[in-house]
């Protein structure tokens, strides 16, 4: 995370003195779940499992835990070295993907519906979707997912979605990152904006995706990884921090930055928060500009 923060201008007066940490902001992560990592202690406000219906917080993949660490880990187990973007954020964890990081439309839709229900009592400012549908998704299911994402946006929630990992040459962006209302995040490599990991392309007239790019290569964050083909949940093996790459990792970098902005400017929400980010940063995330 140190390298990521250097690339995006994270070090500024508000982050140096700890005045802005995302405290008071609630974000939902729809992913493979999350291991009860010490770096999230006391800040998980709820958990729902759309895959297996379990009650206790868990992650049988490691993907969701890594994403949560990038967004909101406090880095205590690393002496702060691997702290996430917004270590004061409260998290709603919704498991919609299985141990392989895969999920069907039903689980995704149920997860979004759960966020809408929770939002009525506990205001959710942000939703992180580090996922994208594969090629050949049924058009009916694609439309249902897109409509569900729009409903979240219409609730005043800023929805942040991965552009996917098709690569620049593919000219493809994953659903639901194609939706105009969501904030779609692409990943770039350490060498900078000249080398994208994510696809880019025009989805419709005047709509170009991704909206913004952030680092997505070799990010170290909270871990709980599978070993020798067995899930870590079965083996109960704990790896405090691991390294992953992809647009899935770039997405919570941006979600965390939005949480910082929301914490400083609480009147911003939904589309306003998205537009504020793009106005201040353009297509490359810069936290110092966001919090100026």
Instruction: Please give the sequence-ordered ranges of beta strands (E in DSSP) within the chain, or none if there are none.
Output: 26-31, 44-49, 90-95, 126-129, 158-162, 183-189, 192-196, 201-204, 207-209, 212-215, 219-222, 241-244
Cβ atoms of 129 and 96 within 8 Å: the answer is no
Q: Which of 221, 231, 248, 263 is an active site residue?
A: 248
Annotated catalytic residue within 37, 63, 66, 107: 63
Task: Please report, for residues 108, 121, 133, 146, 182, the alpha-carbon distance to residue 141 in angstroms, rounded to integers and kept in the order given.
Answer: 10, 29, 10, 9, 18
SS3 content of the chain, % helix, strand, coil (to 5): 35, 20, 45
Closest C-alpha to 250, from 217, 275, 292: 217
In whole angstroms, give the CA distance from residue 58 to residue 232: 10
- CA 280 to CA 287: how far, in whole Å? 9
Active site residue 31: yes
Q: Which of 31, 49, 59, 60 is an active site residue?
A: 31
- The verdict on whether 63 is a catalytic residue reads yes
Catalytic residues: 31, 63, 248
């Amino acid at each position: 995370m140190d390298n990521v923060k250097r690339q995006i201008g994270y070090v500024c007066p508000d982050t140096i003195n700890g005045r802005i940490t995302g405290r008071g902001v609630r974000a939902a992560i729809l992913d493979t779940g999350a291991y009860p990592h010490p770096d999230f202690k006391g800040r998980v406000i709820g958990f729902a499992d759309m895959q297996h219906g379990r009650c206790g917080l868990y992650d049988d993949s490691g993907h969701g835990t890594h994403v949560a660490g990038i967004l909101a880990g406090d880095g205590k187990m690393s002496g702060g070295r691997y702290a996430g973007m917004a270590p004061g954020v409260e998290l709603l964890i919704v498991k919609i993907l299985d141990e392989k990081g895969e999920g069907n439309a039903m689980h995704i839709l149920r997860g979004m519906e759960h966020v809408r229900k929770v939002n009525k009592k506990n205001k959710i400012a942000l939703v992180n979707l580090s996922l994208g549908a594969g090629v050949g998704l049924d058009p009916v299911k694609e439309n249902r997912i897109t409509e569900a994402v729009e409903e979240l946006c219409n609730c005043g929630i800023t929805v942040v979605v991965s552009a996917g990992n098709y690569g620049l040459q593919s000219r493809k962006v994953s659903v639901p990152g194609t939706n105009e209302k969501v904030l779609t995040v692409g990943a770039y490599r350490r060498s900078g904006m000249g080398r994208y990991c994510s696809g880019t392309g025009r989805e419709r007239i005047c709509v170009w995706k991704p909206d913004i790019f952030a680092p997505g290569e070799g990010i170290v964050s909270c871990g709980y990884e599978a070993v020798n083909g067995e899930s870590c949940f079965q083996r109960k093996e704990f790896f405090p921090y691991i390294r992953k790459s992809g647009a899935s990792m770039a997405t919570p970098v941006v979600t965390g930055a939005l949480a910082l902005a929301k914490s400083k400017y609480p009147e911003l929400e939904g589309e306003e928060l998205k537009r504020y980010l793009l106005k201040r940063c353009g297509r490359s995330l810069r936290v110092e500009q966001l919090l100026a």
